[in-house]
Structure 1
């Protein structure tokens, strides 16, 4: 009998499920909705960079630090908070986190100087710290394994779409009402979504959607597991480490470009702050579509070979490198913008494959912790240093010169993915054998 290819892995908890219930899609939509709010609160700052620079006479390094402090807090706290979420309850944790980042965004609106804004932004990061890992763990727990790369890419693309809304809506509000109202609008939308999520999504309603193949004993392992055993599960193979590292490094590109595109357009294309933010939002939108398309493409390719997710990730990184390296060396004009846009389409393309690799190489009982580790790598290796590092270089050689260094990141990421690909098959077989022995 012919069977559709599916990777039998430690994380392949739902390979036999083919149905997807309507409530699962509702949960997915609301969870992505909160991710939109997350990134709207995070990226609205970039839309008002020119206004803050003028109002408070800030350097590019200071502007970059206001963006990077959020990713830094996420990177430092995502792992411990995700482990706590596995123990305390993922849904309750999501509600608490979303409430915190919304209130902190409101704090940004009433800040009177750089120090107060930096503190408020730090609390935005604390609120957002574990959301990505806990949110995707909730989503993957109620869908079939065959959709992992697609769902991961689509979920993480919510960050791009949220950035689009944050920059476009924030820029429009700031242009008409001032930058404080831009932060206030994001805060109000976040609080409204929290209220809806609180009443629609519950652990009790999620329980029937959990795969039957995961026993209650196995579900409890993540809660009772020792720290040493947890570390062993998270870093058990060379390939999973390469997935963490490659994913983190390749995200330096979208993080840097999302932060600095409004300023780039403002300085080199003479666009007013509002128009620059709206135009930059279109580039972020392209990134989001690229994440969805690339994730789905990786799933389709992997039906006929389990290593093909790695091949896809490598191809996305190399394509991004080539397009952006050429684009930022061209003079200002339509061709430059076209190449930058094409490069941004692939700039986060490895996100879906990376998430699927991590899910396949770790036990389902620690998936929130595994995605917290992935989020940690994403933030510390890519998202956190991107904006401030670009700002530091820009203060010395100009913003264009700084952006010309950015495409090196996906080239390095491609090397990490190549190393991971070489050991993936053996690692996967070994982990499946160990899991079979444990069940017997």
Structure 2
């Protein structure tokens, strides 16, 4: 009996140790998922935005117009907008982890193709392929991250994840400027491609579908269990109704997109603005522009955290905060570009950049709160679709096209006014949010019953 008691005690101790180890693993594994998904997002935007810092070099070497330069920047966002929805649905069915690795490998190889381009047509095709590879990463990546964390961290995590785009832009511009000034613009693209391929290998080694699913079940939350039990197999008509029938979710799509139109225009054209109106060389313009983009990424994270804090007991406050971010950003940037070149202009520009991406985290949280957890991948794809077709794609192209007619400075004086449209959209969404959220909760309760 003593031996049996000893064995039972040993088995109990073993189970306790396994539970402790499993608990520890559950604590750090979500952050590993976040870190590697964030690193891939850095690669995504490094590959996307490195083009902006070599605009002056391409313009001189290939005699390109600002419209053509804007097209090279906008075609990536255009392909993301066109393909994000169908590819995200496929990723929900095929497996998010596997899909993310394949997407990252494709955009990295396409970026390497940019380094080998010999004319505008070849560069345009390579950039188009970059867009195909990046098409569903934003929606599927954030769905993967949110699936392994509890609900109350959504706005902060969404803001931090989306801010990876700004930080990737910083790295793309800064490193691209340095590489192009020392080794030529082709090495700027090649460096981004090699970084992306290295992160893909590490991601595929450390993140698996089975471990992600185990983490989702370990959360013990109703939404995690629902997502794990039925990953995205909703029929088409109910799916479309869930994504488009609520007025508040439509306003979240539009408000987010219009604010990102301002951000994308600035990301694409600040290096050229500094080069033309401040006389900066390519490397200095790239590093200076990277500082402004870093302010945008930092502000995005800070705004997301502030939103979570302000809305922790009243989720509807996310709409009020978004209204404040977009309106104040519009004022700061509109005034900045009407000042003469100098310290005051740069200071106001930096202040505006702190707020230009502030609505990204709250908008993602709004979409998550207004949709069933089983379709979050597709819901974020819809948000990405709106962001790209209404914001990220037209931003650089529209700015370049207007610049050819009225000049870059005059164009940048008007672009921030898109933030007024975002302000109106968020104000309208706030009016319908409570009713739309109550409707979703009744549907979920009816299905559970």
TM-score range, shorter chain: over 0.9
Q: What TM-score comes out, normalization by structure 1 length?
A: 0.94
Measure how far apart 1:288 and its partner are. Answer: 0.0
Question: Which residue pairs with 2:430 in the alignment?
Answer: 421
Q: CA deviation at 1:217?
A: 6.6
Structure 2 counterpart of 1:77, from 53, 62, 83: 83
Contact map agreement 2:50 2:176 (CA 8 A) in 1: yes
Asked if 2 retains the 8 angstrom alpha-carbon contact of 1:67 and 1:388, the reply is yes
Question: Which residue matches 1:386?
Answer: 395
Q: Which residue of 1 aligns with 2:246?
A: 237
Map 1:166-315 onto structure 2 (within 5 A): 166-210=172-216, 211-212=219-220, 213-214=222-223, 219=228, 221-315=230-324
Contact in 1 for aligned 2:147/2:224 (Cα 8 Å): no
Provide the rounded CA distance (Å) in 2 between the counterparts of 1:306 and 1:209. 26
Which of the numbers 99, 117, 121 marks the counterpart of 1:115?
Answer: 121
Give the structure-2-normalised TM-score. Answer: 0.92
Match of 2:4?
Answer: none
Matches of 1:352 and 1:142, distance apart in 2: 17
- Over 3 Å counting, the alpha-carbon distance change for 1:367 and 1:216 in structure 2 is same
Confirm or deny: 8 A CA contact 2:79 2:128 kept in the other structure.
yes
Q: C-alpha offsets along residues 158-197 of structure 1, whole Å, 9 cap, x if unaligned?
A: 0000000000001100000000000000000000000000
Shift of 1:220: 5.0
Contact 1:317 1:350 in 2 (8 A): yes
Stretches of structure 2 that go unaligned for 5 or more consecutive residues are 1-22
Contact 1:20 1:144 in 2 (8 A): no
1:147 lines up with 2:153 in the alignment: yes
| Two-structure CA RMSD over aligned residues (Å) | 1.4
How many residues align? The count is: 423
Distance 2:214 2:227 in 1: 16
- TM superposition shift of 1:274: 1.1
Q: Which moved more, 1:299-308 or 1:65-74?
A: 299-308
Residues of 2 paired with 1:408 and 1:215: CA distance?
Answer: 40
User: Which of the numbers 65, 68, 75 marks the counterpart of 1:59?
Assistant: 65
Q: Per residue, is there more helix in 1 or in 2?
A: 2
Taking the aligned partners of 1:114 and 1:56, their CA distance within structure 2 comes to 7
The separation in 1 between residues aligned to 2:199 and 2:233, in whole angstroms, is: 32
Paired residues for 1:396-435 under 5 Å: 396-435=405-444
Distance apart, 1:338 and its partner CA = 0.5
Rounded to whole Å, the distance in 2 between the matches of 1:315 and 1:357 is 16
Q: CA deviation at 1:304?
A: 2.8
Match of 1:22 in 2: 28
SS of the aligned residue for 1:406 comes to: helix
Show the counterpart of 2:52: 46
| Distance across 2 between alignment mates of 1:104 and 1:430 | 44
Provide runs of 4+ in structure 1 moved above 2 Å.
211-224
Q: Could you give the per-residue CA deviations for residues 93-112 of structure 1, whole angstroms, max 9, x where no partner exists?
A: 00000000000000000000
User: What does residue 6 of structure 1 align with?
Assistant: none
Larger Rg: 2
**Which position in structure 1 is the counterpart of 2:41?**
35
Listed as ranges, the gaps of 5+ residues in structure 1 are 1-16
Cα distance in 1 for partners of 2:327, 2:298 equals 18
Would the aligned equivalents of 1:249 and 1:410 in 2 still touch at CA under 8 Å?
A: yes
